[in-house]
Amino acid sequence: MDYDLIIVGMGPVGAMAANLAGLWGLKTLAVEKTESVYENPRAMGFDHEVMRAFDNIGLADAIAPHVMPYRASHYLTTQSRLIKRIDAAKPPYVLGWAPNYVFSQPPVERQLRANIASFTHVTVELGTEVLAVEMQDNLAQVQVRNRSGEFRVVSAGYVLACDGGTSPIRAQLKLRMEDLEFDEPWLVVDVMLKEGAGGSLPTTNVQYCEVERPSTYVVGPGRHRRWEFMINPDEIPTEIAKPESIRNLLSRWLDVDDYDIWRASTYRFHALILEKWRNERIFFLGDAAHMTPPFLAQGMCQGIRDAMGLIWKLALVQSGIASPGLLDTYQQERAAHVRQTTKVAKEFGLIICERDPVKAAERDESLLQRMNSVPGGTVRQSLIPGLKNGLIDDRSPAGELFPQPMVIDRDGVKGLLDSFTGQSFRIVIGTDFDAHPLLEQLHLRLEGSQLHFEVVRLTVEQPTHSADPDQYHELDGILEQWMHERNCKIVIVRPDHYVFGGACTTEEALALFERCLASLAS
């Protein structure tokens, strides 16, 4: 076997998968048929879960110049009446990061790719195309053609098809996408404001719920701004995307001298999901497995969650720590999450895309009433679900995302908790719990096992120099409060930060731990 893993395609999802494979020590080949990143931004927003993942691979500082917290979104009627607000949650942030960000995709993708160089066991081949994948001798055999036109066959334990919405591997295998029934034509225009221009533009993101032409305005980092316009039935996409037509559409907000058009593309916003996310040793991730209308800014986020949810499982299976059955949980967990998120994105789309004046007026009244009954506005992150099935226990808080508090350790080092524990299995123990009996038993249980659990013991005061190294004091009380609200004193957390389960007593925690080990072995 040449590699543990071959990753096909290095869009944001493949590049993230390559970084995570590096983090988990998998010998990996990542191939991309083009020579450089796609220079036109598509995704513009991502959320705190993705930012946490970027930070886990050491990328947060490098991408900071191209990323900015997401502003609130206001939904306006034709008469500019505010009918819905989506706000970002206020600090302190539950996952350690602002709930949502805007970003410029090409420079962030460049940093994602550059970061792979920090993992010596990950090889990247640009200008190399995968032509076919076949199973032979219990391995995946991948036929590639490099930039010089030379062909070779490379073998791997697993292949990740991160080859985008048109996925040639999916097509080769004739795998079916289920249509979740959304299909609307939109024009997307990115502009760079000229120095000093744009002072009268809205300071929030705006959904213009106007029956004549629904449209969206997004404030990007620096001078980057985006408009998205629904294309009317009597319009021709190639015509509306022409510069003079774009200038005409933008004239409501900007003078022609205020901006340069970065790019303009027309899309049909679809909702699709792959029926089978795995074919023998091939797994599908990102747009190759699902596509969602962009109204929740979740398409790329979902692909990055795919990588976060799969790579640690592949690493445990490849090293013999977990049974191959663990890999079946990939689709169980991810498909349910994608379906639910796509459902919400579609609901948003249907609100925004309403063209019937009578129905639009009804919509406006109902949204207005709802907004008035929730004065703080909807919090965007409350719309994203946790895990409902797969490798999780059966009671709350199983499947929730584990918070990430700011902590201080016994040496006085401050940081987000992940920077101390990494992407590990964790046993987190609250302040008001005598941990010794539990830890003794766990130690005995894991003796001789390759499976590693990081222990995190929360302390009421900052631990002293002589305290055990697993003791941390949290600075904002986020985690203690979270555990208190869920009535648990011990939490088992998976490497991708989803909670396996919670417990209140030593006995319950030991039983939970046994269920976790059994799930990994089955």
Ligand X SMILES: Cc1cc2nc3c(=O)[nH]c(=O)nc-3n(C[C@H](O)[C@H](O)[C@H](O)COP(=O)(O)OP(=O)(O)OC[C@H]3O[C@@H](n4cnc5c(N)ncnc54)[C@H](O)[C@@H]3O)c2cc1C
Whole-angstrom Cα distance, residue 306 to residue 286?
7
DSSP string, 239-251: HHTSHHHHHHHHT
Whole-angstrom Cα distance, residue 479 to residue 500?
16
Q: Is the dihedral of CA 385, 388, 390, 393 positive or negative?
A: positive
- Does 298 engage in binding with ligand X (CB under 6 A)? yes
Closest CB 31 distance from ligand X, rounded Å: 5
Closest CB 355 distance from ligand X, rounded Å: 20
Closest CB 396 distance from ligand X, rounded Å: 28
DSSP string, 157-215: EEEEE---TT-HHHHHTTPPEEEEEEEEEEEEEEEEE-TT--TTS-SSEEEE--SS--E
**CA proximity to 218, closest of 295, 305, 280:** 295
**How many CB atoms are closer than 10 A to CB 519?**
18
Is 127 or 202 the residue whose CB approaches ligand X more closely?
127
Q: Which stretch binds ligand X (CB under 6 A): 87-95, 156-164, 177-185, 460-468?
A: 156-164
Whole-angstrom Cα distance, residue 516 to residue 512?
6
Closest CB 384 distance from ligand X, rounded Å: 11
Q: Which stretch binds ligand X (CB under 6 A): 42-50, 149-157, 400-408, 483-491?
A: 42-50
- Among 3, 7, 9, 154, which residue sits at the site for ligand X (rule: CB under 6 A)? 9
Is 285 or 499 the residue whose CB approaches ligand X more closely?
285
Closest CB 53 distance from ligand X, rounded Å: 12
- Does 301 engage in binding with ligand X (CB under 6 A)? yes
Q: Which stretch binds ligand X (CB under 6 A): 26-34, 57-65, 273-281, 434-442?
A: 26-34
- Does 163 engage in binding with ligand X (CB under 6 A)? yes
- Name residue 96's amino acid: G
Whole-angstrom Cα distance, residue 343 to residue 290?
13
Is 134 or 432 the residue whose CB approaches ligand X more closely?
134
**CA proximity to 254, closest of 226, 235, 229, 213:** 226
User: 306-324 burial string, b = 16+ CB within 10 Å, else e?
Assistant: bbbbbbbbbbbbbeeebee
- Name residue 393's amino acid: D
- Among 3, 7, 11, 429, which residue sits at the site for ligand X (rule: CB under 6 A)? 11
Is 168 or 463 the residue whose CB approaches ligand X more closely?
168
- Does 31 engage in binding with ligand X (CB under 6 A)? yes
Whole-angstrom Cα distance, residue 131 to residue 145?
7
- Does 267 engage in binding with ligand X (CB under 6 A)? yes
- Does 68 engage in binding with ligand X (CB under 6 A)? no
Q: Which stretch binds ligand X (CB under 6 A): 29-37, 374-382, 408-416, 503-511?
A: 29-37
Closest CB 66 distance from ligand X, rounded Å: 14
Residue 249 backbone phi and psi in degrees, to 5: -65, -40
- Does 390 engage in binding with ligand X (CB under 6 A)? no
- Does 397 engage in binding with ligand X (CB under 6 A)? no
Judged by DSSP in three states, 74 sits in: strand
- Among 53, 86, 297, 335, which residue sits at the site for ligand X (rule: CB under 6 A)? 297
Residue 29 near residue 125, CB atoms below 8 Å: yes
Geometric angle at alpha carbon 453, from 450 and 454, rounded to 5°: 135
Closest CB 120 distance from ligand X, rounded Å: 22
Whole-angstrom Cα distance, residue 383 to residue 368?
19
Is 306 or 409 the residue whose CB approaches ligand X more closely?
306
- Among 13, 140, 274, 352, which residue sits at the site for ligand X (rule: CB under 6 A)? 13
Residues 174-233 that bind ligand X (CB under 6 A): 188
Closest CB 163 distance from ligand X, rounded Å: 4
Closest CB 194 distance from ligand X, rounded Å: 23
- Does 403 engage in binding with ligand X (CB under 6 A)? no
Is 10 or 427 the residue whose CB approaches ligand X more closely?
10
Closest CB 478 distance from ligand X, rounded Å: 25
- Does 309 engage in binding with ligand X (CB under 6 A)? no
- Does 43 engage in binding with ligand X (CB under 6 A)? yes
Whole-angstrom Cα distance, residue 137 to residue 139?
5
Q: Which two tokens stand for residue 428?
A: 């987190």
Sheet of strand 471-474, all strands in order from the earlier edge strand to the far edge: 414-416, 406-408, 471-474, 453-458, 425-429, 490-493, 499-503
Interface ranges with ligand X (CB under 6 A): 8-14, 31-34, 42-46, 129-130, 162-165, 168, 188, 267, 286-287, 294, 297-301, 303
